[in-house]
Each structure stands twice: as C-alpha cells, then as structure tokens.
Amino acid sequence: MASGSGTGKVTVPGAVLGVLLFVFVLVSVWMLSTERFWFVDLASEHGASVDTVYVVVLIVTGVAFVATQLLLAFIVTRYGARNGERAAYWHENARAEAILIGGTAVTLTVLVFLGQYVWYQIYFTDPPADSMVVEVTGQQFQWVFRYPGDDGVFGNVDPALVTVTDPIGVDRSGAGADDILVVGQMHAIQNQPVLVRIRSTDVIHNFHLPHMRVKQDAVPGMTIEVGFTPTDTGEYEIACAELCGLNHFAMSGMLTVDATQAEFDQWLEDQLVFQ
Ligand code: CUA
C-alpha cells in the first residue's frame, strides 16, 4: 500500500541527529566492552552461570540495539524532509511482520529458558548436604549473623528477648544456648557450600554479596534460603541492596572466606569468647 513517492534529502538537523546517534552507539559499545564498568570479580561457583546468562543477553540485545540505532541514524540522515513531499510508506507487510515477530519470539524464548535454567539451579535445587548453615537477619541498619554452635541447631528467637547485646532476641534456654551472634561479620570456608537463611526484623532489606552473585530480599515474616559456594579466599563486601531507610547506604558488612576449617573455627571461637 505504498503512498507518496518522496525520496527525501540530507538535511543539517537530520545529519546532526545521525552523527549523535552514531556517537551514542560507539560510547555504549565501549562502555559495555571495557572492564571498567563490569561486575566486581567473581568468587563463587554458581556465579559463573549467572555471568554467562548476563553476557549472552547483553550480546543478543546489544546486536539488536546497534543494528536498530545505526539504521535509525542512517534514515534520519538520508531521508530528511524535502519541500512538502510525502514520504513513501506502507501499512502492512505480512512477510516483514512474520520475520520480526517470529525472530523476536524465538530469541526471547531461548533467553528466558536459559535464565530459567540458571534460576532453577540456584533456587530449586536442594543445597548440598554438607552446607554450612548461617542465619542472617536484616534490621535497620545492620546485618546480624547467627551460627548454630556445636549442636548445629538454631534456637528460637523472641522479640521480647531483644537486649542491647542481643539484637534479635535468641532464646538461650534451649537449643539457642550455644548460638553465636556476630554483627556485620560473616565467615565462610573456601569451596565449602554455604546455606544462608535470610530474615528481617523490620522492613524489606536485600542481602547482597556482589562477588558471590548473591542478591536476595530479606522479608519480614519470612525465612528465605539461598546457597552459594565461595571459590576464593579473601574479604568481600556485604551490602544492602534495598532502600530501607535513612542509613540504608551504611548497612554493610564484610564476608571473609577462610582457607581452612581450622581458621574458621578459630574465628568462631573468638566470637564466642567476645560474646
Ligand atoms: Cu537495609 Cu538497605
């Protein structure tokens, strides 16, 4: 249904916009291909698959982005308005629509299943039986870590038992007698799976370990479990990734990955003495 027969012409505004779009594409490609704006170093096992999905999605959408923006730059440059002439256009083209819709549908379906597969592996696969279980409670504005002690069982918590030295209120009369509380400090062992039980005592926080590719909301009234296996020793940032109040920015902590069980035990022992 072609209508009009204009071939347009190169205009100054069109050329300027075309050049701007071209520069925009160049800068975007540079920003995504340089290390400078990339993730922090990876230090967990499952994180590699998260990064892979991210890279694949970025490449696919990047190709589409570059192609469409360059096409747009070309068209606004080449086909500026000429006098009062009408542009040639058509309303429908079954073949073009079939290709665009079909291609987009297939591409997005593949990406969705790729992402679902990784999601399933992280959230719907039983954690390894030898996982070290740690509880983390988010509260304005700190992360409180709890280790179950020698019995391997967490005691109950009760808001009525909260004191200056116990921000979550552990019931010390039962299994909680040997529970160990640490504020802002978490330790794990290299290549030993960790299962984190995430809670909150007030608002929604988000337990974020950027190097481990762990990011999970802490929701009041829920205990949400997420597992990871650190692959490298060292100290890693713990952040809160959910705007939770005035001091949200300061709600941070430090995850230390020890090389051996002995180092970890020593640290835990020190916390117990402190407690
Ligand atoms: Cu807790 Cu932001």
Domain of 176, CATH number, reads: 2.60.40.420
* pLDDT for the residue 1: 38
Domain boundary among 86, 106, 123: 123
Q: CA 254 to CA 230: how far, in whole Å?
A: 14
Same domain, 184 and 255: yes
Please state the pTM of the whole predicted model: 0.83
* pLDDT for the residue 81: 84
Q: CA 17 to CA 69: how far, in whole Å?
A: 11
Same domain, 48 and 141: no
Same domain, 139 and 263: yes
Domain range holding 259? 132-274
Does residue 205 line the site of ligand 1, with CB under 6 A? yes
Q: How many domains does the chain have?
A: 2
Q: Which atom of ligand 1 is nearest to the CA of 244?
A: 2
Q: Contact 28/65 with Cβ under 8 angstroms? A: yes
Q: CA 94 to CA 231: how far, in whole Å?
A: 52
Whether residue 160 lies inside any domain: the answer is yes
Same domain, 269 and 152: yes
Q: CA 73 to CA 158: how far, in whole Å?
A: 63
Whether residue 75 lies inside any domain: the answer is yes
Along the chain (275 residues), what's the average pLDDT of each consecutive run of 10 residues? 66 94 95 86 93 93 94 92 79 91 95 94 88 95 92 88 88 86 94 95 96 95 94 96 94 95 92 72
Does residue 138 line the site of ligand 1, with CB under 6 A? yes
Q: Whose CA is nearest to atom 1 of ligand 1?
A: 205
Whether residue 7 lies inside any domain: the answer is no
Same domain, 109 and 38: yes
Residue with tokens 């000429």: 82
